[in-house]
Amino acid sequence: MYKVDISYRSLIWQRLMHSPLSLFDKVKPNEMVSRTANDTSTISSVVAGLLPTLVGMVYSAYYIIDQLIGYDWELGLGLLAYTPVYVAALIWYGKWNYRTLKHTHNRLASLTQFLSELLVSIPLIKSFATEHKEEKRGKESLQKYYKASMKQTIVNWINTPMISLLTLVMDLFVIVFGIYLVSQGTITIDIWIAFFMYVGMYFGILETFGHMFIQMKESQGASSRIALLLENDLEEYERNRSVEDANRDLEFNQVSFGYGDKKVLEDVTFTVKNGSKTAIVGPSGGGKSTILALVQQLYDPDKGSITYGGIPIEEYHLTDWRKLFSFVAQDSPLLNGTIRDNIVYGVDRDVSETEINEAARAANALQFIKESPQGFETYVGETGANLSGGQRQRIAIARALLRNAKFLLLDEAMASLDGQSKKAVQKAMEKLMEGKTSIVVAHDLSTILNSDQIILINEGTVEAIGTHKELYQRSPLYKGFVEYLSQSSVG
């Protein structure tokens, strides 16, 4: 059983690692954990435990029926005639139990999701003094789960008296009809006693079948949830081409994309020249971050094409393609490990201590690392919680420096930093962008002004492309955008 369990969990984990990002948009992290940890255990117990038992039960039932008919065919046929009634009652109960159990699990999932989200948001709750409101919502969720659990408990309790009643009906038939046959001299008392004992064994097997059916129904929900992972298309890593020349132009050709029914980009066309710095600006929600996701092939365009050196990017081996990029986001995630672990993460070569120190120095992170209790061996905490926002960003930049990829993608990398951290990170950014092709989503004037080209995105479409001077002269939207940023920086 344990080997089956491990095999299932390994399979699920493997598919999670190779599934497209769209799957993770549909399924919440808590549910992913449940599928990997709980659902696989439920299914493996059925496969490893119940199926072998079922084979033995079928053989035993066949042997007992053969013996009973051999003792007396009239009693045997009576037993066989009652068997469908008994089995039908077990199946009906199993389906009923499954429905109530599914409802209970759904309530538990909702409760778990609710509690996990609120516990993370405790600072927000206290800041807005909404403790009583959230306490009430929590009690309502707990009450819904309590009612579902009570209903499940009642359904579970009904199982024993139902089985007892079904068995009692057959026992009465065997007793009454057996006494009649003994009185008529059709069978002897010894055969009747033996028959009665075999009937007990037979119904014991049917009762076990009932429990197995209930367990199989319980695993049905787990099977349907895991089926979504097993049937989901995986990313294709091996393709037609290797990336042999990393000095080409990247082009978007009438690209359209949407998350489900929500259209985000429409007919987006632009070119990123090799070695250039491109800034993408515009109002929030216009699709700027989505462009960076499409460049990395985290999603595929709904229409249009993205080419590299005139070749569609989907023709390149996926691992080779993604190795072209270093990505730094507004709040770059860190793994729950040491500072060293996070700096070298994603670097698939041996890295010397000197290289790590140089990357940290270039990212303006070396000073705070050395001031930390364990230096590079300091644990960053869950998602980097032990570090400030500026420190997390500088570690992310050090990681990007060490990776030394051809392309640099920056997504609002300094949006959440204070003035002092922003200056340190800005210097690190300038170092990071040297000699690279950069695509930068930013609301920082210093980053925008120095760009070779600026792409103005408005409501999912390209409104204008040009240098800062060109756009400032001919685009009212860009001019207003720059003036707003200027006033914000002064303020």
Catalytic positions: 412
Residue span of the structural domain in which 474 resides: 250-490
Give the end of a domain, one of 231, 265, 283. Answer: 231
**436 and 379, same domain (yes or no):** yes
Examine residue 238 and state whether it is found in any structural domain, yes or no.
Answer: no
Examine residue 321 and state whether it is found in any structural domain, yes or no.
Answer: yes
Number of domains in the chain: 2
3-state secondary structure of 204: helix
CB 21, CB 293: distance < 8 Å: yes
Contacting residues for 405 by C-beta, under 8 A, at least 6 apart? 323, 324, 325, 326, 436
Full pLDDT tens readout for the chain, 491 residues: 556 567 666 777 777 788 888 777 777 666 666 666 666 666 666 665 566 666 667 767 777 777 767 766 777 777 777 778 877 887 888 788 878 877 887 787 778 777 777 776 777 777 777 888 888 888 888 888 888 888 888 888 887 788 788 778 777 877 777 787 778 777 778 777 777 777 777 777 777 777 777 767 666 666 666 666 666 778 888 888 888 877 889 999 999 999 888 899 999 999 999 989 999 998 888 889 899 999 999 999 999 999 999 999 999 999 889 989 988 887 777 888 899 999 998 888 888 899 899 888 888 888 899 988 899 999 888 777 788 878 888 888 888 888 888 898 988 877 656 666 667 667 777 777 777 899 999 877 777 888 899 999 988 899 999 998 899 898 888 888 888 777 765 54
**98 and 151, same domain (yes or no):** yes
Q: Looking at residue 73, which CATH number applies to its domain?
A: 1.20.1560.10
**192 and 281, same domain (yes or no):** no
Examine residue 70 and state whether it is found in any structural domain, yes or no.
Answer: yes
Examine residue 245 and state whether it is found in any structural domain, yes or no.
Answer: no
**433 and 286, same domain (yes or no):** yes
**95 and 164, same domain (yes or no):** yes
Nearest in space to 121 (alpha carbons), one of 136, 134, 110, 106:
134
- Alpha-helical runs (H) found in 434-475: 445-449, 468-474
Examine residue 340 and state whether it is found in any structural domain, yes or no.
Answer: yes
Give the end of a domain, one of 168, 198, 231. Answer: 231
What distance in Å separates the CA atoms of residue 258 and residue 431, rounded to the nearest whole number? 35
**257 and 221, same domain (yes or no):** no
**210 and 275, same domain (yes or no):** no
Give the end of a domain, one of 231, 262, 280. Answer: 231
Its pTM stands at 0.69
**226 and 258, same domain (yes or no):** no
Q: Looking at residue 394, which CATH number applies to its domain?
A: 3.40.50.300
